[in-house]
Amino acid sequence: MAQFPQHFLWGGAIAANQAEGAWNLDGKGPSIADVVRGGIASGQHDAVIDPHLYYASHEAVDFYHRYKEDVALFAEMGFQCFRTSIAWSRIFPRGDEQTPNEAGLAFYDNLFDELLKYGIEPVITLSHYETPLALYQEYGGWKNRALIAHFTRYCETVFRRYRGKVKYWMTFNELNNMNRMPFATGAVDADASLQIIYQANHHQFVANALANKLCHEIIPEAKIGCMLSLSTVYPATCHPDDIFETQQLRRRSLFYSDVMMNGEYPAYSRRLFRDNGITLAMEPEDLALIARYPSDYLGFSYYRSVVHKAGAQLQIDTGGAKGEDNPYLKKTAWGWPVDPKGLRTVCNELADRYRKPLFIVENGYGGVDEIAPDGTINDEERIAYGRQHIIEMAEAVADGCDIMGYTWWGPIDIVSAGTGEMKKRYGFIYVDKDNDGNGSLARRKKRSFDWYKQVIASNGEVV
């Protein structure tokens, strides 16, 4: 078995809106996640929150009140890092205030202190599908250039507050899902035109560059990355049309890392914009900022691969799009093909393309868990998924890929981003809660808990 570097970071990852709950406590304002019913892939969201309806983010798994118990369990597994997001609307409830909400800042101080108490490095996403709702309803989201200033004020606030506590940052979660999920990724209407989508992205690219600049100025020892969903794409056949279209489809994702990692709009984007009648409004300094402040590393999620046939329309989903059937791969209960080798392929592709460190910040198995009469949860499929992916990640390291770490998605059961369900569970720790919000929220270890503990203890040698 290949070796992992000595300082490889093992851990887990969640997002505020899928775990914290406490959606309107201690001064937090609503975010776009708080008006979504049925998950972000459903595209449905309410203009006004109906108190009689169930919104999964409102309580989620109550991490806000139970984080000490949860962090203790992560520490027991040996986590060296823990990725979560800061809920922007806990810090700036509407997003456009000049002064932050102290109670929101204090919550993350306490959370980071709790992690650091166990030697767990916080890895923080600044915006994970949870833009403050007012910035969508009153400003129209990221298509409005005003969001750059609001976002950078938020970034500066949290960089100043948490310097000395947080060394690893990421700006926007899965920005490349913007094409398919503009509401979640950019707080832009679901039926927005490509012109609006790419304009919103341009503002996000400038904001990303400014966040990188501020981060390095305020916390010189910090690393700040971008984050994309990079499930790999295979052509359905060796027909040249399938090959070419698959390459073009891949570019629709890699466009985002090309801009943020390389610091420039790639040459192929000129044709993409021309063919789609897109003209970007820019300020004179924008391209220089993007060039001057690229990302330090590429964080990405990898769950599965996708097969593409020329001319086929891809369906909307999180964690990659749904394409043609792959006869060589088994699927999860949610129809996601399980493709460990694809992770090795992606790592090699990205290492070649960017020559900067990679961080696998999401990988995991969403499945149904049964509690046996004796109270145990034997989640063998989750263990098998993790084992196979870690083996391929080790091969990628041996191939020469510079990988900083690995954070399992949802080490504790959380709300599914795509479907809003609790039934789709990723955790090594079970949470007693169902799709309708019933349950005691009690935590319980699954069999995979001890499996992951030994993976970390052996630095990936024993899987």
The binding site for ligand BG6 (CB under 6 A) comprises 15, 18, 173-174, 229, 301, 318-319, 362, 366, 409, 416-419, 424
Supply angle C-alpha 151, 156, 161, rounded to 5.
130
CA distance 275 to 186: 23
Q: How far is the CB of 3 from ligand BG6 (least distance, A)?
A: 29
Q: How far is the CB of 253 from ligand BG6 (least distance, A)?
A: 12
Smaller CB separation from ligand BG6, 15 or 289: 15
Catalytic member of 121, 174, 245, 395: 174
Residue 121 designated active-site:
no
Residue number of the CB atom closest to ligand BG6: 418
Catalytic member of 121, 130, 362, 392: 362
Smaller CB separation from ligand BG6, 15 or 290: 15
Q: How far is the CB of 158 from ligand BG6 (least distance, A)?
A: 20
Smaller CB separation from ligand BG6, 41 or 192: 41
Identify whether the C-beta of residue 120 lies closer than 8 Å to the C-beta of residue 71.
Answer: yes
Q: How far is the CB of 173 from ligand BG6 (least distance, A)?
A: 5
Identify whether the C-beta of residue 403 lies closer than 8 Å to the C-beta of residue 344.
Answer: no
Residue 362 designated active-site:
yes
Count of residues for the chain?
A: 463
Long-range CB contacts for residues 307-311, cutoff 8 Å, separation at least 24: 307/233, 307/234, 307/235, 307/236, 308/233, 308/234, 308/235, 308/236, 308/242, 308/245, 308/246, 308/249, 309/235, 309/236, 309/237, 309/242, 310/236, 310/239, 310/241, 310/242, 310/244, 310/245, 311/241, 311/245
Identify whether the C-beta of residue 454 lies closer than 8 Å to the C-beta of residue 445.
Answer: no
Smaller CB separation from ligand BG6, 326 or 416: 416
Q: How far is the CB of 14 from ligand BG6 (least distance, A)?
A: 8
Smaller CB separation from ligand BG6, 104 or 366: 366
Return the active site residues. 174, 362
